[in-house]
């Protein structure tokens, strides 16, 4: 357990002040700093990663919880997001990640989930603007509640989207549409986002998480190695210009699956007219 001096040091550091001198004798002053220290230590984590229980094993939730600033990103949140992403990368049992907000009316702002080898689904209720939309763009799928509001307002501040927005948005909606959205900084609703291919689904407000969970459950029924290789083939194939090179990427990914236990299980289950049991091997 931390000493009182340690608690005081933490309080001063997190508040951006030096810790009070140990010689202070004012009991009321001490009580204030003690209370402040315990308050800081009791604050909820801004980023929470947890795995759902059976029957949804393999589905992970990555939740942002900074209600006081509507999930705005700072260096601490970025560090925690990166740490969470690293944990998912090393989890061989992980199959799908749901990226959601615990803050009503706000999604989030910033971070890059493209590096994850498994599918990621952005659950968007409320505003996903600037860095928030860039985070959603780095996910594989985007599910919006009808109250969602998406946009890139950076040019209104004389800057540009700087976390992948100028590159990912045109790859999803086309360069002409992306230029219009970025140049004007205008916002679109969930229905328009689906129409232009920016979102996969628009559902009633408050139901985006359930829709995302339903999709995640469908994904977890498929061969996990096949899902990983499909994502790799799509992502890497989109990064090369020539179709021949893209098809070569696909061929390499396909070949890696030919001699897996899961492939043999899939063939056996099909022949025996039963549900396959995949192990990720």
- Rounded CA-CA distance 136/139 in Å is 5
Write out the DSSP string of 17-32.
SPPPPTT---HHHHHH
- Rounded CA-CA distance 209/206 in Å is 7
pLDDT at 6: 30
Catalytically active residues are 111, 131, 134, 154
Residues of the chain with pLDDT under 70: 1-44, 69-74, 104-106, 108-112, 114
From residue 212, alpha-carbon distances to 61, 140, 208 in Å are 11, 12, 6
pLDDT at 105: 66
From residue 168, alpha-carbon distances to 137, 164, 239 in Å are 6, 6, 11
**Alpha-carbon dihedral sign for residues 15, 17, 22, 23:** negative
CB 124 within 8 A of CB 208: yes
Quick one: which H or E segment has residue 63? strand 59-64
CB 37 within 8 A of CB 11: yes
- Rounded CA-CA distance 123/106 in Å is 11
- Residue identified by tokens 């049992």 is 93
pLDDT at 35: 40
pLDDT at 76: 76
CB 65 within 8 A of CB 48: yes
Which residues are within 8 A (CB) of 43 and not within 5 positions of it... i.e. 6 or more apart? none
pLDDT at 73: 65
């Amino acid at each position: 357990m931390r000493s009182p001096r340690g608690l005081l040091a933490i309080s001063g550091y997190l508040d951006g002040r030096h810790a009070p001198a140990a010689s202070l004798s004012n009991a009321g002053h001490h009580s204030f700093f003690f209370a402040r220290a315990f308050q800081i230590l009791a604050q909820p984590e801004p980023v929470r990663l947890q795995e759902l229980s059976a029957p949804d094993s393999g589905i992970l939730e990555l939740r942002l919880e900074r209600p006081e600033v509507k999930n705005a990103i700072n260096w601490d949140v970025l560090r925690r997001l990166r740490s969470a992403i690293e944990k998912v990368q090393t989890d061989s049992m992980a199959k799908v990640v749901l990226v959601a907000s615990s803050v009503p009316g706000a999604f989030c702002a910033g971070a890059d989930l493209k590096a994850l080898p498994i599918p990621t689904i952005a659950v968007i209720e409320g505003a996903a603007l600037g860095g928030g939309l860039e985070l959603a763009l780095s996910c594989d799928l985007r599910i919006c509640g009808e109250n969602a509001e998406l946009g890139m307002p950076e040019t209104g501040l004389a800057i540009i989207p700087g976390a992948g927005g100028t590159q990912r948005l045109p790859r999803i909606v086309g360069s002409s549409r992306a230029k219009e959205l970025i140049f004007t900084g205008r916002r679109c609703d969930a229905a328009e986002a689906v129409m232009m291919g920016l979102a996969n689904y628009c559902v009633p407000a408050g139901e985006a998480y359930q829709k995302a969970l339903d999709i995640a459950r469908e994904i977890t029924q498929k061969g996990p190695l096949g899902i990983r290789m499909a994502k790799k083939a799509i992502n890497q194939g989109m990064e090369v210009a020539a179709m021949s090179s893209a098809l070569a990427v696909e061929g390499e990914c396909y070949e890696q699956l030919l001699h897996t236990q899961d492939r043999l299980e899939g063939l056996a289950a099909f022949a025996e007219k039963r549900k396959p049991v995949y192990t990720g091997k």
